[in-house]
Amino acid sequence: MQASNITKGVVLKTVKYGDTSIIASIFTELYGLRSYMIKGARKASKKSAGTGQYYQPSNFLLIEGTHQEQRQLQFIKSVQWAVINANILQHVVKNTVAMFMVEVLSQSIKETEPNAELYDWIEELFTVLNEASDKQTANLPLYFMLHLGAKLGFALQHNFSMDDNCYLDIKNGCFVASYNPNNGELLDTHFASITNEINKLTNPLSLAAIAITKQDRNELIDMYVLYLQLHVPEFYNLKSLPVLRAIFQD
């Protein structure tokens, strides 16, 4: 069955195809994850710079395309901006965070089934990033990874207690009472407490109130990436991770 509908979508990844075309992986509101062939996207003329500018990772688009369930590649009839996050494009730190987030999403979202709730959350989070303060921006990758896990079905349990369950078992997604420093999947009380605070947040704007040093933030980023790797099949090393770890200041 073929349908032609307008849907919003966020570009997760693009690869060159042939001399002038590209294939774009786009997580859409109506159709889930889809791959689109955009012919001539890299072909510029005197009158036009081509449509390739639309298909940069982290761009939010309004696309009209043909969708056939049995085809691996879909085609776009027309495209325009759905949301323009100008600050992300112009701000080095915010752009670094955005590239990290889309790489995580490209490895985490596997299914083609629609998930409008997940799409809306992603769009809202990028809007927050666009307007975020420096502190909010620095802590947003932590919030993003923890809450993405919840959206994908492996949320951390809310069972933290300084008296009892004060360590975090990221493999089993719960806070526990005993700690083994030789177990690389356990976080000590300090990091478990910070994680509990981030996990409880319902509004990412509240991230500015959580004080985290650069060293602690980087250690948590590494642990949260491991958390995703333990729960998402075929989640590989992130090319954007070293840049993210290097860019923040205390």
pTM (2 d.p.)? 0.92
Range 1-84 has CATH code 1.10.10.10: no
Domain with CATH 2.40.50.140 in the chain: 1-84
Domain with CATH 1.20.1440.120 in the chain: 86-250
**CATH class for the region spanning 86-250:** mainly alpha
Q: pLDDT tens digits for the chain (250 residues)?
A: 444 589 999 999 999 988 888 999 999 999 999 999 998 887 765 444 568 889 999 999 999 987 777 788 998 989 999 999 999 999 999 999 999 999 999 999 988 889 999 999 999 999 999 999 999 999 999 999 999 999 999 999 999 999 999 999 999 999 999 999 899 999 999 999 999 999 999 999 999 999 999 999 999 999 999 999 999 999 999 999 999 999 876 5
Instruction: Tell how strand 73-83 and strand 32-38 pair up.
Output: parallel
DSSP 209: G
**How many DSSP H helices and E strands does the chain contain?**
7, 8
Largest CA distance in the chain: 69
DSSP 104: H
- Rg of the chain, C-alpha, whole Å: 20
List of E strands, 71-159: 73-83
Contacts of 5 (CB under 8 A, 6+ apart): 30, 64, 65, 67
Q: Pick the closest to residue 41 from 66, 62, 25, 23 (CA basis).
A: 23
